[in-house]
Structure 1
Amino acid sequence: MNTSTVYISHWCSIEAGEIKRNGEILFSKESEEIELNDLLKAYYREKNISYPKFFKMDTLSKLAFIGSEVLLENIELEKPNLDVGLVLSNSNSSLESDKNHCESISDKDNFYPSPAVFVYTLANICLAEISIRHTLQGENAFFISEKFDAETMWNYTQYMFETNRVNRVICGWVDYLDGGYKLVFYLVEKQGNKQHTIEELQNIFN
């Protein structure tokens, strides 16, 4: 196996009413108390994004979708693309949609649970939403951990490069539950400003 030196070329975050890319605020609202869905829709409209399915997604997928838009802004990817991997993680899986699905089942006035909710009762559905949007056909994975596990993310991403599975990997953390949220995405490739190390991942996340 070859030892690959790869880099973090871009990173972004969505937290506390602010959307940042490479440490610079791209979009924000005056109040940190703004609901996430309102923040994401405001950014979507501000950037004139055209993707009607966005409004049908669950909140976790909307968050991941906008995160990928921010991260990949002004970056051209081949379509379709077999060389871009996608590795995400969170701590709450799809629990928000799971709860909504359970509520729809227990609703005595609703004979059938909503298929529009049920489809999002897997955390990795947000991988699919990003892949469809950017026509990604590379390897992907979704990890669940109590907190951001920089070592696991680093190991898995390095392995993908060392086994020549990818030329780029979109990585990060995307979590939402009961109104609380945090997204940190970063792009790993063969050139960039920061070397891909566990320490750098921890710095970006924090």
Structure 2
Amino acid sequence: MSTKLHIERYCHIKNSTVSLNGAPLFEIASEDFLTFIKAAYKELDTKYSKFFKMDNLSKLAFLAADVLLKEDTSLSEGEKNIAIVLSNRASSLDTDRKHQASISDPKNYYPSPAVFVYTLPNICIGEISIKHKLFSENSFFIFETFSADLLKVYTESLLKTNKAEKVLCGWVDFDADSYEAFLYLVSSEGTIEHNNNEITRLYRL
């Protein structure tokens, strides 16, 4: 692929607000994540029966991805050749704590499989892939801070070697009461250049 790459669109979820391309889609006056994400799910017409069984990291990533992908009509209704490259700093730590707490409880030693299944950060990629029929490459990186450079290099490698037509990538982090999602879709379409400065600028909005 020799075509210049661009960011088609981007989504932020933070501070009880969901925004697309910098414009708020949904916001609520609540600091409680579960109250906020449940209300956002209903307002944005997400429609995925497994949503409320997910851990918080997966809910966060899934909702941001759904905002970006559900109106993408440029690809077929069947399998879509969109790769996923996500990153964060806390891995699945929020769920890991719950899993460890159940193991440490002598009265409830055997933890719930519903919790255990989410003790890997890339499980959220699986949920996104199932909903949107994505079967391309995927990776989940753990960084101390957001790294525009690595996301850019890895994304461009996937596209230039024709391993994907588009790449959904970004940062999705959940740890205790702190949460933040910034996902964006990269392809040959769009008006925002795919470079470190633009990725960083959008992340900081």
State whether TM-score is above 0.5.
yes
Task: State the alpha-carbon separation in 2 of the partners of residues 51 and 82 from structure 1.
Answer: 18
Q: Which runs of 5+ in 2 are unaligned?
A: none
The alignment partner of 1:42 has SS state of helix
Identify the residue that residue 180 of structure 2 maps to in structure 1.
182
Q: Please give the residue correspondences for 1:104-119 in structure 2 after superposition, counting only pairs within 5 Å.
A: 104-119=102-117
Q: Please give the residue correspondences for 1:121-200 in structure 2 after superposition, counting only pairs within 5 Å.
A: 121-200=119-198
Correspondence 1:38 to 2:69:
no
Task: State the alpha-carbon separation in 2 of the partners of residues 30 and 40 from structure 1.
Answer: 12
Identify the residue that residue 27 of structure 2 maps to in structure 1.
28
Q: CA deviation at 1:79?
A: 4.2
Determine which of 32, 44, 49 is the counterpart of 1:47.
44
Q: CA deviation at 1:4?
A: 4.4
* Contact 2:64/2:181, CA 8 A, preserved across alignment: yes
Identify the residue that residue 17 of structure 1 maps to in structure 2.
16
Q: CA deviation at 1:111?
A: 3.6
Amino acid aligned to 2:14: E
Amino acid aligned to 1:137: F
Identify the residue that residue 72 of structure 2 maps to in structure 1.
75
* Contact 1:79/1:134, CA 8 A, preserved across alignment: no
Determine which of 54, 68, 81 is the counterpart of 1:57.
54
Task: State the alpha-carbon separation in 1 of the partners of residues 142 and 186 from structure 2.
Answer: 20
The alignment partner of 2:50 has SS state of helix
The alignment partner of 1:74 has SS state of coil
Identify the residue that residue 7 of structure 2 maps to in structure 1.
8
Task: State the alpha-carbon separation in 2 of the partners of residues 49 and 191 from structure 1.
Answer: 25
Amino acid aligned to 2:34: N
Amino acid aligned to 2:138: N
Q: Cα gap change, 1:26/1:82 in structure 2, threshold over 3 Å: closer, same or farther?
A: closer
Q: CA deviation at 1:22?
A: 0.3
Superposed CA RMSD: 1.3
Q: CA deviation at 1:17?
A: 1.0
**TM-score normalised per structure 2:** 0.95
Q: CA deviation at 1:5?
A: 1.4
* Contact 1:81/1:138, CA 8 A, preserved across alignment: no
Task: State the alpha-carbon separation in 2 of the partners of residues 71 and 48 from structure 1.
Answer: 13
Task: State the alpha-carbon separation in 2 of the partners of residues 137 and 79 from structure 1.
Answer: 13
**TM-score normalised per structure 1:** 0.94
Deviates more, 1:74-83 or 1:6-15: 74-83
Q: CA deviation at 1:20?
A: 0.5
